[in-house]
Amino acid sequence: MYKASPPLKDLGLLNPSRAAFFMCDMQEKFRPAMIHFDEIVSVAKKMVEVSKVMSIPLVVTEQYPRGLGKTVPDIDISKALIVVSKTRFSMLVPDVERLLHSLCDGILESVVLFGIETHICVEQTAIELLSRNLKVHIIADACTSRNNADRLLALDRLRQIGCFVTTSETVIFKILQDKDNPKFAEIRHLVKEPSPYTGLFPGSYAKM
């Protein structure tokens, strides 16, 4: 008698119609303190553009903006679904919690998460999203901290607890799925040049 195979473990597929982008606290006052800040901003800007072109909901938070300033002007968040001020480290403040139930017509499966700081707000947000049975994709080249050890150890922890720690380009191509995607022409310029070096791995192209 035929016996169905057990379900495969989650391999990190990303359905764009069931996904949302969460950008955490990419604020101006952090600029002097964060390592590779300008490069991280350029990758975050690219992901925000992808969310706009692909009509993927974008959720933005700002940590205590009265003291830490607004989101960097380099990134256009005018099309964000919501921009929330917070003092809590996790992005899942009440306004965002309420929104979770309506994203993607109530069938949200995955959150693509990036921002500042990797080991604090990003990590705590990821833990709370996982606890709500959501898949979490961390864009490593769009996350940073003041200290690279904190950042890299956090990325290891995030992988251990079940996040898909990945890169911006991987996420973009997972969302496109096909060269014949009607949005490919609008996205192509965003992946024409490699992403900048952001200190994730040593290499010949690293800034010395």
CATH number of the domain that 172 lies in? 3.40.50.850
pLDDT tens for residues 39-67? 999 999 999 999 999 999 999 999 999 99
User: Number of structural domains, the chain?
Assistant: 1
DSSP code per residue over 113-156:
EEEE-IIIIIHHHHHHHHHTT-EEEEEEEEEE-SSHHHHHHHHH
Higher per-residue pLDDT: 206 or 152: 152
Cβ-contact 50, 16 below 8 angstroms: no
Q: Name the nearest CA neighbour of 12 among 153, 167, 146.
A: 167
Assign 152 to helix, strand or coil: helix
pLDDT for 208 = 38
Q: pTM of whole model > 0.85?
A: yes
Tokens representing 73 are 């002007």
User: Is residue 152 in some structural domain?
Assistant: yes
Residues belonging to the active site: 25, 86, 121
**Residue 8 maps to a domain:** no
74 part of a folded domain: yes
Structure tokens, 126: 């990821």
Least confident of 44-58, 97-111, 156-170, 188-202: 188-202
Residue 197 included in any domain:
no
Residue 65's CB: how many other CB atoms inside 10 A?
Answer: 18
Range of the domain at 168: 16-191
Under 8 Å between Cβ of 43 and 198: yes
Residue 4 lies in a domain: no
